[in-house]
Structure 1
Amino acid sequence: MSNETELNQAGFDAIAHAMGQLYPGQKGFYYGTVIPAFLGGNDPLDGVEVWKSERGIPHWHYVTYGFTELYQKESDDPKESGYGFELTFRLKREGEEEPPVWPVNLLQNLARYVFSSGNVFGPGHHMNANGPIALESDTQLTALAFRTDPELGELDTPNGHMIFLQAVGITHDEMEALMCWNGEKFLRAMEEKIPLCIADLARGSLMESPSFRSLWQQGVEKDGSSTGFLYMDEIGAKLSAGTVTLRFGAGHIQTLLNMLQARVGKGRDLYLQGEDASVFFQPGEFAAAMENDTLVLRLPSQALDELRAILRSHAGVYPLSSVPITLELVPTEITDARGNTIRVIE
């Protein structure tokens, strides 16, 4: 192999060397892309390598090749390689001789999102998968959270710095709980229950554990939320003659309750984005104004407490007594993949 060829795959070799150090004497399973994206293919990653780990509990350890600059340096940033990370994923082994392929597809789909949107992941981030992370399964793991892989950490390559970012499978209510606290702290607490945050498709939600829920509540009360943005599809906001009208779908109330307390109740802002409206909550003396189609609403503590108390009600129309705000709670319809209503939350 020539020196030029070695140089051209220096980023690739740096990742391979890190994996070889973590798993000495083992040969990983490499799932390469036939036609990578830079040659016109549909798969953004060059490949995914999988290793057999006995740490924590026996599991498969997946690592991507392609978010960073694997070959020659292309970006203008000498300090960071590509997007600055490669993804890892850990899946509980079930006695298979070879690793399941579905996590490879999951990681390629995450790469498609990053490459097409330009949005990158980082420690403490989360993402709703809008369905099972393993397609055609009935797992409760329907979202992902991200943290620095505890065994691989960070790496300096000839093409710049990078981190190994572990994608962790979580349930929907775990995702909502994570949003109301701090993503990295939530995952550290999770690791006390689940070694290395290894994905187990058969597990239930940690929020059903009284000890874990208590730990989470203590964290929220102490730290508040590090998430300042919340998307809710059912939001309405009007300001007329100094009076504010807010409309929320009943299906999002518990998350909104937690986020209001964890953000505004801790002296921080909270931005709510819906399909047709957006509201920017701020702590402070009452004020309301429309700015660039967003309702900016400042709430004193008394009004916040009253708003949160009313949010616990059923669908209906409720005026607040402490400030000129009227709250409308409307039923939320839960539909299946075909659009059929399977449940109504009031």
Structure 2
Amino acid sequence: MMWDAVTEAMGGLYPDEQPWHVTYPAEGYRLRAASAYPAAGHWHLVGYGLGERWGFELTVRVARGDEQQPPQWPFVLLDQVAAYVAALDGPVEDGQWINWGGPVTGFPHTDGPDTGLTVLILVEDPQLGDRFLQLVGVTSAEADGRVDVPEDPLMVTDPARA
């Protein structure tokens, strides 16, 4: 998937919003860039860099208060998951989950808060379709079915809920 297609898809969802952009250094990072769009109650982030080789890009929706800038930890998370995906032998699919082994926010190594969300489930982005896999942070109890995941059609990751 080309960058223009990603930008067009996100711009279609948020035509009046100015996104925040970050670029990653060429060496040591899997993604080339990422953007965060302010949405109602959350930030919608998308990475650029997996599409040309893997056919999909990663997204994540993160709970948002009244802050004017997105937190930095989701940008770190997107690149770390992109590196994980690139290292796999097989394909990545809707419904696959990753035991992250610690807070998905990267706490205490990032600006992210401590959280009990330690597993990422990859799902088709509910607004962008199958060319975008969304990361959804859940607890280990939610991932293995011991506890129900709260209903949320957009599947926003909210570190404060666990």
Q: TM-score, normalised by structure 1?
A: 0.43
Match of 1:141 among 107, 113, 117: 117
Change (3 A) 1:190 1:44: same
Distance (whole Å) between structure 2 residues aligned to residue 24 and residue 31 of structure 1: 19
Residue in structure 1 matching 2:10, options 8, 12, 19: 19
- Residue 46 of structure 2 is matched in structure 1 by 63
Q: Offset at 1:116?
A: 2.7
Of 50, 62, 68, the match for 2:36: 50
Q: How does 1:318-329 map to 2 (within 5 A)?
A: none
Which of the pair has the greater relative contact order for Cα pairs under 8 Å at 6+ separation? 2
From the superposition, tell whether residues 119 and 107 of structure 1 become closer, same or farther in structure 2 (CA, over 3 Å): farther
Which amino acid in 1 is paired with 2:17?
A: Q
**2:152 aligned with 1:194:** yes
Q: Hey, what's the Cα distance between the residues in 1 that align with 2:135 and 2:127?
A: 14
2: CA distance between counterparts of 1:121 and 1:98? Answer: 30
Is the Cα–Cα contact under 8 Å of residues 190 and 197 in structure 1 kept in the other structure?
Answer: no
Q: Distance in 1 between matches of 2:32 and 2:45?
A: 14
User: What secondary structure is seen at the aligned counterpart in 2 of 1:196?
Assistant: coil
TM-superposed deviation, 1:94 = 2.2
Q: 1:174 aligns with which of 123, 128, 142?
A: 142
Which 5+ residue runs of structure 2 have no aligned equivalent? none
CA drift of 1:190 comes to: 4.0
Whichever residue aligns with residue 63 of structure 2, its letter is: K
Structure whose alpha-carbon radius of gyration is higher: 1
Whole-angstrom distance in 2 between the partners of 1:118 and 1:59: 33
Percent identical among aligned pairs is 37
Tell me, in whole angstroms, the C-alpha distance in 2 between the residues paired with 1:100 and 1:127: 22
Give the C-alpha shift of residue 119 in structure 1: 4.2
2:126/2:153 contact within 8 Å kept: no
Aligned to 2:78, what secondary structure does the other structure show?
A: helix
What SS does the corresponding residue of 2:2 show, helix, strand or coil?
helix
The Cα RMSD (Å) is 1.9
- Matched residue pairs, number? 157
- How far did residue 18 of structure 1 move? 0.8
For residue 126 of structure 1, what is the aligned residue in structure 2? 97
CA displacement at 1:172 relative to structure 2: 0.9
Q: Which amino acid aligns with 1:42?
A: G
TM-superposed deviation, 1:93:
0.4
Which segments of structure 1 move beyond 3 Å, counting only runs of 4 or more?
Answer: 117-120
1:67 partner amino acid: L
Aligned to 2:129: 153
2:145 and 2:149 map into 1 onto residues whose CA distance is 12
Matched residue, 1:106:
77
Mapped partners of 1:88, 1:122: distance in 2:
14
SS of residue paired to 2:119: strand
Q: Report SS of the residue matched to 1:108.
A: helix
Deviation track 1:228-266 (CA, whole Å, cap 9, x = no partner) reads xxxxxxxxxxxxxxxxxxxxxxxxxxxxxxxxxxxxxxx
User: What is the aligned partner in structure 1 of residue 133 from structure 2?
Assistant: 165
Structure 2 residue matching 1:18: 3-state secondary structure: helix
- Flag structure 1 segments of 5+ consecutive residues without an equivalent: 1-9, 70-81, 155-162, 179-185, 205-346
- 1:287 is aligned to none
* Distance (Å, rounded) in 1 between the aligned partners of 2:103 and 2:138: 10
